[in-house]
């Protein structure tokens, strides 16, 4: 029988969308905004602690019913990169959480069953990386104590560095989900994703 764990999620959504030209997380997608659509990925009872790290869009996100019950963390310096947003989220995760999902706010094609597969495969001390056709993607699910190592890394990409330092803890989860590879940085990316 699969043991049930408690999870936190950190949704990183403070980027300034420079290449997009407009803030990408508020673009329409399947009847909602991109970020509202992504919020539904975390609608599992095991994910009891939901955080979104954002910047100047905090007021807009607070008004979205999709984020009722989420904790909204404001990154005042989003220009410093995603690493700062990640650390701000990790500082606030619930102490009872055993694993932490880390997700990007510009990947609306990820499937909800991918989240379920990651939770099913989770064991304490693991770094779970979803993989589609030998390419690894996001979101990732990481043992809380390992995820918190990012707090002490000065590297501008602390998650990547932490994973590199704990390579023996990696478990790949093969999924039938090309969405784990599809992020959205340019208008061309958005048009492609929107039409899938």
All residues at 6 or more sequence positions from 77 whose CB lies less than 8 Å from its CB, including other chains: 84
Residue 180, C-beta contacts closer than 8 angstroms, at least 6 positions apart: 107, 110, 114, 130, 131, 132, 136, 137, 138, 139
Please tell me what DSSP assigns to residue 96.
T
Per residue of the chain (196 residues), give pLDDT as tens: 456 799 999 999 998 766 665 788 999 999 999 999 999 999 999 999 999 999 989 999 999 999 999 999 999 998 888 999 999 999 999 999 999 999 999 999 999 999 999 999 999 999 999 999 999 999 999 999 999 999 999 767 899 999 999 999 999 999 999 999 998 888 899 898 988 7
Predicted confidence at residue 4, as pLDDT, reads 75
Closest by Cα among 56, 74, 45, 73 to 17: 56
pLDDT (0 to 100) of residue 3: 60
Phi-psi region of 125 (alpha: psi -120 to 50; beta: other; left: phi over 0): left
pTM: 0.94
pLDDT for 45 equals 95
115/89 Cα distance (integer angstroms):
19
> From CA 172, how far away is CA 134, in angstroms rounded?
10
Predicted local confidence at residue 1, as pLDDT = 41
| C-beta separation of 57 from 39 below 8 A | no
Would you identify the CATH topology of the domain 7-194?
Spore Coat Polysaccharide Biosynthesis Protein SpsA; Chain A (3.90.550)
Answer yes or no: are the C-beta atoms of 162 and 147 closer than 8 Å. yes
């Amino acid at each position: 029988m699969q043991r049930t764990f408690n999870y936190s999620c950190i949704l990183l959504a403070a980027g300034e969308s420079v290449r997009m030209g407009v803030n990408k997380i508020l673009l329409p997608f399947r009847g909602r905004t991109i970020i509202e659509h992504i919020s539904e990925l975390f609608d599992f009872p095991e994910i009891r602690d939901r955080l979104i790290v954002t910047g100047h869009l905090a007021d807009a996100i607070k008004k979205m019913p999709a984020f009722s019950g989420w904790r909204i963390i404001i990154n005042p310096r989003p220009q410093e990169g995603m690493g700062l947003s990640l650390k701000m989220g990790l500082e606030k995760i619930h102490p009872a959480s055993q694993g932490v999902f880390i997700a990007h706010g510009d990947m609306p094609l990820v499937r909800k069953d991918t989240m379920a597969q990651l939770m099913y495969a989770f064991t304490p001390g693991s770094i779970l990386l979803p993989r589609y056709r030998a390419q690894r993607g996001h979101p990732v699910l990481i043992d809380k104590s390992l995820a918190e190592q990012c707090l002490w890394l000065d590297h501008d990409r602390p998650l990547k560095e932490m994973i590199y330092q704990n390579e023996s803890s990696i478990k790949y989860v093969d999924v039938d989900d090309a969405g784990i590879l599809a992020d959205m940085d340019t208008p061309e990316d958005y048009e492609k994703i929107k039409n899938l």
